Amino acid sequence: MIKYEKAEMPPEIEVPYYSYAEIKNRAYEFLRKYHSSLSLPIPIEEILEFEFKINIVPLPRLHRDHEIDGFISSDLTTISVDEFVYESRLGRYRFTLAHEAGHIILHKKFFKEHVFSTIKGWKEFAQSISIREYSFLETHANNFAGLILVPPTPLLKLFDESVKAAEEANFSFKNHIDVIIQYIVENIAKKFNVSREVIMIRLEKDKLLERIK
């Protein structure tokens, strides 16, 4: 978590605001252009490296020393990622890349109005805006990441298949709903190559869990 030293955002800086519906549309356009087949898992690393010409740079101790998994340079050419996450936490690595892709798609103009390429520069940038505006940036990017890594159509298909499998295994939805949800989430997470937390958020956003509760 960034420790903020400045509470007020300078008047010349304005973070754009996007509704979830707007972010969903931008994510749809992203996938339509760069991975229309929606084959899983979504190849976010390849898209960024080959389509956007992004340099991905592992940095030792980035999370340990600065409590972040990654950041993108203001010129949108380099994504720095915690070395341990890069090497050993594939789900977190993929989400970090998708999160930074969100900044590229949603915040390109805003980022390019500033100049930073190091962790020190990034932290100074983050501290120059209010907590509220920083929250907008991160929430937008998180929502975008979830939508491109776990698109609605394959999510619905895998959810229905998992529910059917639970029914065929004679699980009691009335008495073991928590166990069933855990089974569904773990099964789907493996297909998308993301964390269980990402799947839970996407299921809640698409209101799919309401269908079995």
List per-residue pLDDT tens for the chain, 213 residues long.
333 333 333 445 578 899 999 999 999 999 999 999 999 999 999 999 999 999 999 999 999 999 999 999 999 999 999 999 999 999 999 999 999 999 999 999 889 888 899 999 999 988 988 898 999 999 999 999 999 999 999 999 999 999 999 999 888 888 889 999 999 999 999 999 999 999 999 999 999 999 998
pLDDT of residue 147: 98
**Which tokens belong to 195?**
């964390």
pLDDT of residue 13: 54
Q: Which residues contact 185 (CB under 8 A, 6 or more apart)?
A: 196, 199, 200, 203
pLDDT of residue 213: 80
C-alpha–C-alpha distance, residues 109 and 18, integer Å: 14
pLDDT of residue 79: 98
Alpha helices, H only, 74-169: 83-88, 90-106, 108-112, 119-127, 131-149, 152-168
pLDDT of residue 192: 98
What b-and-e string marks burial along 130-155, b requiring 16 or more CB atoms within 10 Å of the CB? Answer: beebbebbeebbbbbbbbbbbbbebb
pTM of the model: 0.91
